[in-house]
Amino acid sequence: MAKPIMVQGTMSGAGKSLLVTALCRIFTEDGYRVAPFKSQNMALNSYVTKDGLEMGRAQVVQAAACGKEPDVRMNPVLLKPSTDTGSQVIVKGEVLRHMPAAEYYAFKSELIPSVLEAYESLAAENDIIVIEGAGSPAEINLKKDDFVNMGLAELVDAPVLLAGDIDRGGVFAQLYGTVALLEPNEKERVKGLLINKFRGDVRLLGSGLDQLEELTGVPTLGVIPYLRVKLDEEDSLAESLSVKTAQRPVDVAVLRLPKISNFTDFAPLENHPVLGLRYVESVEELGSPDLVILPGTKSTVADLLWLRQTGLEAAILKLAARDVPILGICGGYQMLGEELDDPAGIEQGGTFRGLGLLPLRTVFEAQKTRTRVRARLLEPVRAKLFEGEEGTSPKEVLLDGYEIHNGSTRVTDWDVLGQGTSSFCKILEEEKEGGVAHVDGFTKGNVFGTYLHGLFDSGELTEALARWLCFRKGISYEALCPKSHDEEQEEELTKLAAAVREALDMDAVYEILGLAGPKNS
């Protein structure tokens, strides 16, 4: 069985996900078979595996750090908040049901067998399992039947590294207070402290580190610098959604919906040197962008009504009438239609008017669509995107992504087809096990919609979109040749691992694991 090591944090946002990702890459570079594991994840950024199961996006990045295909065993329980007090509960990649927080707290002990089954299956195939905790182990009100922090560490006999966030201040109090609130047997599991997100001269921490070790009895194994890496975020909206790159020549505005999900779709746009991406939540912030994006959402109807109440719906309609391109993805695509019908009460129940920019009707259904797909942009869309390239026929643009949504969307007026309208892309038959090729999405004039998440990851659509928006503005698009999202993620993973390896006492980490050191040394 694999040897486990667990990274816990003094709070949410302490940097556990990045530290686990770094350790996954370091151990992999050192010749070990490695897998990440997070028993319970709470996030609106989810991912669909090749076998059509749903898992947290953070473990997808961690799997990439290990050179592995994402596997739902890496995240057996996923909570997707749908209200302020409740979440959709997903177990082993399948939706169980929606539960209010109190009901889930009473129910969660029943999930322990599924969690252990997933862990033991992974452990049988690997040398090291790097486990990520959730929140803080000092949440003493939640300790009963815990299987995400010290409870899980006990179940799988994992040593723990405890990380604190110095960037928020009070890191010594964070670390000391967390250790002080642990039970004696839990304290024994904490083998090292980590100070994360440090800016400055580490020598200034010297006396504080000595006192911290005296108080806790636990050595500090590393002071990790504040790392600016461009990796997909898990569920922390603060950093990703504060992206403002308006100094770049093309202005792209993404609606920051209250229940926004899968905003990792836009990481390739954030990183493109031509596209200035910003998230907006008011008419004043929206202004007059070159492209408006309505993203995915966990609560399409609620966020549609929010657009209406804030005046953003009217502002979007005015921009569309001025020929500003509008793109809707998943829930955003559903909003662009004429009507959203929820007869079974999947969201709120009832029938709701959409933005009316596309001739579509969506009916919400209990069965969730979850599938990995490859797709090809249809010719009318390609012709539009490449209209600025004289003397060339529209290029093929392949997309590699996934669908994850409730509901089906149908065209309400087939007579409009061929009048500046078409479907958005064709889902390729060879990527649909037992299925047939079909079309997805819709485009009418300057309005585009699709169910496909991850549509920008390959880089082909990103570059085509950037060139087209530059053409519309009369800007000369230089041959910048941006890297694909996957290539950039790989470079960032290597950079992250190198920085953490330099700051962390890896000899001590290997000793904690009971291993001699790098396997390939």
Q: Please provide residue 127's backbone torsions phi and psi, each rounded to the nearest 5 degrees.
A: -90, -35
CB 250 within 8 A of CB 469: yes
Active site residues: 330, 453
Here the tokens at position 224 are 């990790």
Question: Which helix (DSSP H) or strand (DSSP E) does residue 331 occupy?
Answer: helix 331-335
Residue 347: how many other CB atoms lie within 10 Å: 21
Angle made by CA atoms 117, 119, 122, in degrees to the nearest 5: 110
- Read off the DSSP letter of residue 372: E
Taking the CA atoms of the chain, what radius of gyration do you get in angstroms? Answer: 24
3-state secondary structure of 469: helix
Using alpha carbons, select from 322, 313, 447, 286 the residue that is nearest to residue 380: 447
Here the tokens at position 40 are 């319970």
Contacts of 514 (CB under 8 A, 6+ apart): 3
DSSP-derived secondary structure for 53-120: -EEEHHHHHHHHHTT----GGGS-EEEEEEETTEEEEEETTEEEEEEEHHHHHHHGGGGHHHHHHHHH
CB 424 within 8 A of CB 235: no
Residue 83: how many other CB atoms lie within 10 Å: 14
3-state secondary structure of 499: helix
Sole residue written with tokens 């955003």:
332
Here the tokens at position 246 are 């308006």
Using alpha carbons, select from 1, 15, 11 the residue that is nearest to residue 504: 15
Question: Pairing mode, if any, of strands 421-422 and 442-444?
Answer: antiparallel
Using alpha carbons, select from 424, 416, 419, 461 the residue that is nearest to residue 442: 424
